[in-house]
Amino acid sequence: MEETKQEVVSLPRLGDDAPRFTAETTQGVINFPDDYKGQWVILFSHPADFTPVCTSEFMTFASMQDEFKELNTELVGLSVDGLYSHIAWLRTIKEKIEYKGMKDIEVNFPLIEDITMEVSKKYGMIQPGESNTKAVRAVFIVDPAGKIRTMIYYPLSMGRNFDELKRAIIALQTADAFSVATPADWRPGDDVIVPTAGSCGTAKDRMEGKEGEMKCYDWFFCTKPLAKEEVFQKIRK
């Protein structure tokens, strides 16, 4: 029996330059990521227009757009549907859909037309185990230098957690701005993790409490307070 060859899905990697593309969108032509230099971007895909999970997600993204802008973060959506389908769907959302208190929602961020699947394939959004013709729910967080900093993939059936997407942006920006790491379930105002001691002397000083407000659970695991106000003062636009 002849074996069916499974298409190999090529995924970008964390720290890679975001794959470049030029695309038609509901907001005109964009050149990605060049048009977004100096800004963070959430590039996300969805399976199809006029579908319920995607509609709930687009309404949520649009309702949070100003919150992301305050964090110097732009939104860019994608599906393999055509431009006219996108426009009709977004108009339907604005004129007809009310969901969880959201109504008259206007989507002002670009939604990419990707009928050829060129962009979807560059970013590994077409995964044959889920669908050969629809993009999975992928999320790429791209930093101001055009580097991929976070990737999250969801199956077609599951909507995204938008609090987590916003938390991820804040955590990445905090790590960059303060040269720290963020522990499990970190929220602004929680303690942050300081870099591991680079010498025996530093480790000893930390364990003996000689480095200020730092709290050490062991030589390799130390935290320090970082006020919520200080975080947002530094990262908000």
pLDDT tens string 138-177: 999 999 999 999 999 988 889 999 999 999 999 999 999 9
According to the annotation, is 187 in a ligand binding site? Answer: no
Residue 164: CB atoms within 10 A of its CB come to 12
- Whether 151 and 50 share a structural domain: yes
- Whether 154 and 50 share a structural domain: yes
- Whether 117 and 189 share a structural domain: no
Can you give the pLDDT at residue 3?
A: 46
What is the pTM (predicted TM-score) of this model?
0.89
- Whether 156 and 188 share a structural domain: no
Residue where one domain finishes, among candidates 160, 195, 217: 160
First to last CA, the chain: 61
- Whether 51 and 142 share a structural domain: yes
- Whether 39 and 150 share a structural domain: yes
The total domain count for the chain is 2
pLDDT tens string 42-63: 999 988 899 999 999 999 999 9
Catalytic annotation on 222? no
pLDDT tens string 1-21: 444 455 556 788 999 999 999
Domain CATH for 91:
3.40.30.10
For residue 26, tell me if it sits in a domain: yes
54, 200, 216, 222: which is the annotated catalytic residue?
Answer: 54
- Whether 225 and 115 share a structural domain: no
